[in-house]
Structure 1
Amino acid sequence: MKQTTFASLSYDAKKKKTRREVFLAEMEQVVSWLALLAVIEPFYPTAGRRGRPPMPLPTMLRIYFLQQWYGLSDPAAEEALYEIEPMRRFAGLELAEEAIPDETTILHFRRLLEQHELTAQLMNTINDVLEEKGLLLKGGTMVDATIIHAAPSTKNKGKARDPEMHQTKKGNQWFFGMKVHVGADVNSGLAHTVSVTPANASDLSQLPDLLREDDRAVFGDRGYVDNRLKRAARAAGVFWGINLKAPPQRALGAGQKARNRRLSSVRSRVEHLFRIIKRQFGYVKVRYRGLAKNAAQVFALVGLANLYLKRRALLA
């Protein structure tokens, strides 16, 4: 039990709950904390620097999730814990009674997750829990990709752009960064498989890795058109729901356009996941150099986005 301070009593007496408080209260209930902590615990140190005990693992995991939900860097996360009471409460910290983790401690925890590739395991654990509750079903997959921008400037210490990021052309516009490829369940809209590549990697190159062995249907936009895979899918009894692409110098017929609209009404559900990651969580630009660090963050974001999509069902 923690001693209640006068500041906490004053905060409890306020008349309105903010949107941040409502959101964090929901996440407190829908996240399977024990299952996620069990993934990290074997790798978490039992003694800190100079023999001091480390910060409690539940506190550090909650801070890491706060970073993903609110787009916080390590220094910004430390400052937010000092300034914002709902975040401090969510992390289980009392300002007057306990030490607030500094940015170096937060950095070390993030690197621990990256070093042991734990964020992918966290995403899979979240999906396992959703599947057990009947919220992540099987049968068909929607595939799509989105571009995450990286800084194209060379005004830095190395005088060069990130060598692991590349540029690609979409329409008449060029983009520099990486791609997040997602395979999402047709029924629930939840992502079950994720891959991260440089932006110049084709969407089609990732298609085989985004499908599940028991999928009976696949939906995607024109970027996944491939006659060889189409014939193989039909031979295996898999419904090929990839939008048709007009041949050069020709236009699609009315029936073909109508078919594309029907398929797009199914495929478009995968865009909801990207909306949450980019608009709700604010992840539109990479934070680190290199694919590995950024991929680790993407896995965490996708797992948390799955929880956010099904939070109402989980609360019920």
Structure 2
Amino acid sequence: MGQITFSEAEYQNKKRKTRREIFLERMDKLIPWNQLEKKVAHYYPKGQNGRPPNPLSSMLRVHCMQLFYNLSDPAMEDALYEIESMRCFAGLKLDRLPDETTILKFRHFLERHGLGKVLFKEVNKHLEKNGLMLREGSIVDASIISAPSSTKNESGQRDRIGGPPEMHQTRKGNQWYFGMKIHIGVDDTLGLIHSIDTTAANVHDIVPADKLLHGDERRVFGDAGYLGIQKRAEHKHRKDVSWFIAKRPGTRKKLDADKLKAEKIKASIRAKVEHPFRYIKQVFGYSKVRYRGLSKNTNRLHLLAAFTNLMIGEKYLLA
């Protein structure tokens, strides 16, 4: 064992844990590292030629921290140099830290092999083994994630960054938005995400709804944007599914007391789908896209969804 540095010695002797340390310890316990590393190891370079790669376990942990705190590649490198708790989480020492290029290349490696989705599925398998991923009912919903736009062109219109139709503008109420949509399907008990799709912001919520259902549902909940979903061709084979779709505000005003009560019950169940959006946008800070194209953002969102599921199911996993 090498001699410890001054920063490590100070870190070991401090009197209280910071919120960052508490959060990192929490995520360290929740994430099934061995299962995730096995999935990535199949594609990870073995270092037979040239310079040996950084340890997979450290790079995966660095990438996860980058997503926890929504850091750019240079900011992640700086954080590793400055913050001892982050180095401890990744199992790294000051004498050999990955630079921003190494961090970037690892992210590109995950994107190239579509490993965000693979790791998301692996986390869901882990939850299913623990009896948390129930499959009888689903709730579907969508949320807009904003993107930076530019009007510095001849027409003065907003550019579709990343190339059409990757990002687009859309109107919601009286407000205009520019960016993409994340569509999710969650189970109607704990609100764990089982399906994800992404589109440009102007795509109607009902269009990708078929990709959000796993096929074993007996009931499906959705807001008024999904009215008429059962009549679409892609859902006509779902004969045994009960569709609980919210009424429009104008229609609700005309309902009697019993039907209004039923609407409130549907709304209380449907509210579970908002919790994952809160984790993705507020806890992990992904209320604006970081990349131009849908593909890179989708890879990142799958991992954020995996972390979200672990945090929602935390009290059951650690019980």
Q: Residue by residue, what CA displacement relative to the aligned partner does 1:114-172 show, whole Å, maximum 9, x if unpaired?
A: 1110100000000000000111111100111100000112459xx94413201111111
Cα RMSD (Å) of the superposition?
2.3
CA drift at 1:9: 2.3
Matched AA of 2:228: D
Task: Answer yes or no: is 1:257 the counterpart of 2:266.
Answer: no
TM-score, scaled relative to structure 1: 0.92
CA distance 1:206–1:2, shift in 2 (3 Å): farther
Matched AA of 1:303: A
Q: Residue by residue, what CA displacement relative to the aligned partner does 1:230-288 show, whole Å, maximum 9, x if unpaired?
A: 9967972322111012679x943244433222101000011011001111010000011
Q: Unmatched 5+ residue regions in structure 1?
A: none
Give 1:12's aligned residue. 12
Say which SS state the counterpart of residue 38 (structure 2) adopts.
helix
CA drift at 1:291: 0.7
CA distance 1:94–1:229, shift in 2 (3 Å): same
Q: Would you say the 8 A contact 2:147–2:289 is kept in 1?
A: yes
Give 1:130's aligned residue. 127
Task: Answer yes or no: is 1:216 the counterpart of 2:213.
Answer: no
Q: Residue by residue, what CA displacement relative to the aligned partner does 1:7-41 show, whole Å, maximum 9, x if unpaired?
A: 21221111111111111111111111111011111
CA distance in 1, matches of 2:229, 2:317: 41
Question: 242, 259, 271: which one pairs with 1:268?
Answer: 271
Q: Residue by residue, what CA displacement relative to the aligned partner does 1:179-234 show, whole Å, maximum 9, x if unpaired?
A: 00000011121000000000011111111111121101101100000064399679
Moved more, 270-279 or 232-241: 232-241
TM-score, scaled relative to structure 2: 0.91
Alignment of 1:98-109 (within 5 A): 98-109=95-106
Q: Would you say the 8 A contact 1:26–1:315 is kept in 2?
A: no
CA distance 1:60–1:227, shift in 2 (3 Å): closer
Give 1:315's aligned residue. 318
Size of the aligned set, in residue pairs, is 310
Give 1:52's aligned residue. 51
Alignment of 1:37-186 (within 5 A): 37-47=37-47, 51-95=50-94, 98-155=95-152, 160-162=159-161, 163=163, 164-186=166-188
Between the two proteins, what is the percent identity of the paired residues? 47
Moved more, 133-142 or 250-259: 250-259
Matched AA of 2:262: R
CA distance in 2, matches of 1:155, 1:37: 44
CA distance 1:155–1:230, shift in 2 (3 Å): closer
CA distance in 2, matches of 1:46, 1:82: 26
CA distance 1:192–1:160, shift in 2 (3 Å): same
Q: Would you say the 8 A contact 1:127–1:136 is kept in 2?
A: yes
CA distance 1:4–1:218, shift in 2 (3 Å): same
CA distance in 2, matches of 1:6, 1:234: 66
Q: Unmatched 5+ residue regions in structure 2?
A: none
CA distance in 2, matches of 1:291, 1:154: 21
Say which SS state the counterpart of residue 109 (structure 2) adopts.
helix
